[in-house]
Amino acid sequence: MKTKILLVDDEDDLEVLFKQIFRRQIQANQYEFMYARDGQEALAVIEQFPDIDVVLSDIHMPVMDGLTLLAKLSETNPIIRTVMVTAYGDMSNIRTAMNRGAFDFVTKPVDFKDLEVTIEKTIRYVNQLRETAELKAVDEMKTRFFANITHELRTPLSLIISPVDKLLETTDLPVSYQQQLSTVRRNARQLLRLINQLLDINKLEAQQMDLVTEVGDLPGFVAQIVDLFRPSTDIKQLNLAFTTDMPPGNYLFDAGKWEKILYNLLSNAIKFTETGGITIRLSQTPTAARLAVADTGIGIPPDKLPHIFNRFYQVDNSRIRTYEGTGIGLALVHELTLRLGGTITVQSYLNEPTGLQGTHFVLEIPVQRVNNYKEAQPVVTPTTSMDLLLPAKATVAESQSVDTTPLILVVEDNAELREFMIAELATTFRVRSAANGYEGWVLAKEELPDIIISDLMMPRMDGYALIEQLKADPATDHIAIILLTASLEQDSRLKGLSYGADEYLTKPFHVGELRLRLRNLLNRQQKLREQYRQQLAQPEPSTPLEAVQDQFLRRLYSLVEQRLDDSSLSVEWLADQLAMSRKTLYTKVNSLIQLSPNELIRQYRLRKAIDLLRAGHNASETAYMVGFESPSYFTKVFREFYQQTPTDYLKT
């Protein structure tokens, strides 16, 4: 390969001299010389020929001297190396040049044999630099390619999951279809989780993942996640124990990251353990929470232990591995822990004379106790979706039970943002989507989602109009709404909230924040549901049913009350009165109070029975007054519900 050498000197005859001396190399096309008379000219030449490898530069020159040229070059060109050609004994300038990054120096009068050796040495070094730079560029390209591919996979995947979710909700779907569709869904979700993990790890490495701090009951949160794994440990007949001495109460912590850490540690522990069990212990140090996850599984050999936090590392990397996986889990756990300012250590025991067996992870993650909240904040509900954790065999049971995973409707006209949200949410929730307010409204009426995330500016029907429609319809007025606004304008925010949006997020938003808001809304809904159920179930005169906060329930109760003694009161009649379909009534009642309409009627009757018994009616009178066909049936149902017969109840 030809080496390009730039000679920078204000002596004219030097050019001729070089041509003579290096005639052989020039003819053999080994060297190509270029010339400049001062630093300024040199920079211009280099700009034109950026592939110059070596600069031979004088120090004292008019316009721009060699030292200035050197300083400029080291700023602009990371590859070119400069050899100073200077007067013998000019030690202080030589020192300055070397400090400014000159590669070497030769002194005048030039010893050309020595110069040739120096040039060759410089070329070797420059070639090394070029190679490293190329490798780095290739590496960067690979990383970018990888990130792009991963990103691109999310859209088609979310477009598989979303319709499958919908198909699975078809009533009367043959069981064999249900099973196969569940398999599709489980695997697609798993793939999506994997992809999201890969993206997470890229983000963490590029230091682009933000911290999200939530307030909540940390020990309760960990306990909930551990419980999600119980079906998996049950199937493998493993013990699963969680202990903590951390006082319950409010802590500041990043729930999303804790969840990912726990998910990976626990799924590993279960995957690599065949007998015995898994213990999780959460304790407190003065500044941190200490989380220990220990299993009695196959263990990790000491020489493999240092590598397990590396990306894609797996102890068993044979093609016919016994255990599934890609080796990303622990790398993510490691990065997340560091991001949270924590530490992680691991110890593993196998073939110990003591008989000790298994792997122990210990993490210390800073968390803060908060005392200045008056009431304890509800436990943040983990968002990990259950069916990811179950082995394939459990599909039948899974598909037969009603899917209680929250349903989110995304209404957004920007296709890219819409798919992004679906991909983010589909690992955790059931997701539907619509491309404008009108479609959103139609879907919302059909499916009654738990939460709608809606854009503001959309064709056909904008966000405000959508909210207005939803709030005007008793079937949909309970649905929580998160508004996405592009503008920071106080105006649109206030307007949205005044129309009845529950939350708003400003674009571009942070996925962690979106998840947090979803979780908070779902928590609030769950708390309300429980409150309404309690109110209906518990015969406390202090909480009369007529005073129930929710308008729809109030109306429903008063309808039942109208025909309390009528045993033929039916769900159809209720639906008719409320001008909604049976299916809508069912979903609405279920989402408000987690009961079926029939169950609600029955509980209402039982609750009223208590009032009547208290007012002095005997059991059989009461039975007829609250619409039971026979006193004996009334007694049976009453006892099932209150664990006492009506007569016993009166006595206490």
Tell me which residues touch ligand ATP (CB under 6 A).
Answer: 264, 268-269, 272, 295, 297-300, 308, 313-316, 325-331, 359
Q: 406: cis peptide before it, omega within 30°?
A: no
CB 330 to Mg ion: min, Å: 6
CB 98 to ligand ATP: min, Å: 47
Where residue 172 falls (left for φ over 0; alpha for ψ -120 to 50; beta otherwise) is left
Look at residue 410 and give the partner it binds from ligand ATP, Mg ion, none, a contact being a CB closer than 5 to 8 Å depending on partner kind.
none
Helical H runs in 278-394?
329-339
CB 454 to Mg ion: min, Å: 37
Helix-helix angle 597-614:551-562, to 10 degrees:
70
Q: CA 147 from chain center: how many Å?
A: 16
Which residues are bridge partners to 430 per DSSP?
407
Look at residue 298 and give the partner it binds from ligand ATP, Mg ion, none, a contact being a CB closer than 5 to 8 Å depending on partner kind.
ligand ATP
- Residue 121 or 304 with smaller CB distance to ligand ATP: 304
- Residue 158 or 268 with smaller CB distance to Mg ion: 268
- Residue 331 or 410 with smaller CB distance to ligand ATP: 331
Q: Which helix (H) or strand (E) holds 140?
A: helix 112-168
CB 397 to ligand ATP: min, Å: 24
CB 646 to ligand ATP: min, Å: 56
- Residue 309 or 349 with smaller CB distance to Mg ion: 309
Environment class of 350 (CB within 10 Å of its CB; exposed 0-12, middle 13-18, buried 19+):
middle
- Residue 268 or 428 with smaller CB distance to Mg ion: 268
Helical H runs in 216-360?
218-228, 230-235, 255-271, 329-339
- Residue 389 or 458 with smaller CB distance to Mg ion: 389
CB 336 to ligand ATP: min, Å: 12
φ, ψ dihedrals at 376, nearest 5°: -65, 130
Look at residue 269 and give the partner it binds from ligand ATP, Mg ion, none, a contact being a CB closer than 5 to 8 Å depending on partner kind.
ligand ATP
CB 69 to Mg ion: min, Å: 55
In the structure encoding, which two tokens stand for residue 86, read together?
């200077």
Look at residue 270 and give the partner it binds from ligand ATP, Mg ion, none, a contact being a CB closer than 5 to 8 Å depending on partner kind.
none
φ, ψ dihedrals at 385, nearest 5°: -85, 135
CB 145 to ligand ATP: min, Å: 20
Which residues are bridge partners to 137 per DSSP?
none
Look at residue 315 and give the partner it binds from ligand ATP, Mg ion, none, a contact being a CB closer than 5 to 8 Å depending on partner kind.
ligand ATP
Look at residue 452 and give the partner it binds from Mg ion, ligand ATP, none, a contact being a CB closer than 5 to 8 Å depending on partner kind.
none
CA 390/CA 404 separation, integer angstroms = 16
Look at residue 328 and give the partner it binds from ligand ATP, Mg ion, none, a contact being a CB closer than 5 to 8 Å depending on partner kind.
ligand ATP
- Residue 311 or 460 with smaller CB distance to ligand ATP: 311
CA 628/CA 566 separation, integer angstroms = 8
Residue pointed to by tokens 């598989």: 160
Look at residue 262 and give the partner it binds from ligand ATP, Mg ion, none, a contact being a CB closer than 5 to 8 Å depending on partner kind.
none
Cα–Cα distance list, 169 to 174, 364, 590 (Å): 11, 43, 15
Please check whether residue 282 is in contact with residue 251, taking contact to mean a CB–CB distance below 8 angstroms: no
Q: CA 285 from chain center: how many Å?
A: 28
The 81-87 sheet, strands edge to edge: 31-36, 3-8, 54-58, 81-87, 104-108
Look at residue 595 and give the partner it binds from Mg ion, ligand ATP, none, a contact being a CB closer than 5 to 8 Å depending on partner kind.
none
CB 316 to Mg ion: min, Å: 12
CA 553/CA 299 separation, integer angstroms = 56
- Residue 262 or 626 with smaller CB distance to Mg ion: 262
Look at residue 326 and give the partner it binds from Mg ion, ligand ATP, none, a contact being a CB closer than 5 to 8 Å depending on partner kind.
ligand ATP
CB 195 to ligand ATP: min, Å: 11
In our burial notation (b when 16+ CB lie closer than 10 A, e otherwise), range 388-419 reads: bbbeeebbeebbeeebebbbbbbbbbbeebbb
In our burial notation (b when 16+ CB lie closer than 10 A, e otherwise), range 578-595 reads: bebeeebbbbbbbbbbbb
Helical H runs in 169-237?
175-205, 218-228, 230-235
- Residue 299 or 646 with smaller CB distance to ligand ATP: 299
CB 334 to ligand ATP: min, Å: 9
- CB-closest chain residue to Mg ion: 329
Look at residue 280 and give the partner it binds from Mg ion, ligand ATP, none, a contact being a CB closer than 5 to 8 Å depending on partner kind.
none
- Residue 330 or 569 with smaller CB distance to Mg ion: 330
CB 322 to ligand ATP: min, Å: 10
Please check whether residue 241 is in contact with residue 273, taking contact to mean a CB–CB distance below 8 angstroms: no
Contact footprint for Mg ion (CB under 5 A): 268, 329
CB 383 to ligand ATP: min, Å: 19
Look at residue 359 and give the partner it binds from Mg ion, ligand ATP, none, a contact being a CB closer than 5 to 8 Å depending on partner kind.
ligand ATP
- Residue 315 or 421 with smaller CB distance to ligand ATP: 315
Longest dimension (CA), the chain: 127
Helix-helix angle 255-271:218-228, to 10 degrees:
40
- Residue 299 or 496 with smaller CB distance to ligand ATP: 299
Query: Within 13 A of 469's CA, how many CA atoms are on the CB side?
Result: 16
- Residue 276 or 631 with smaller CB distance to ligand ATP: 276
Look at residue 297 and give the partner it binds from Mg ion, ligand ATP, none, a contact being a CB closer than 5 to 8 Å depending on partner kind.
ligand ATP
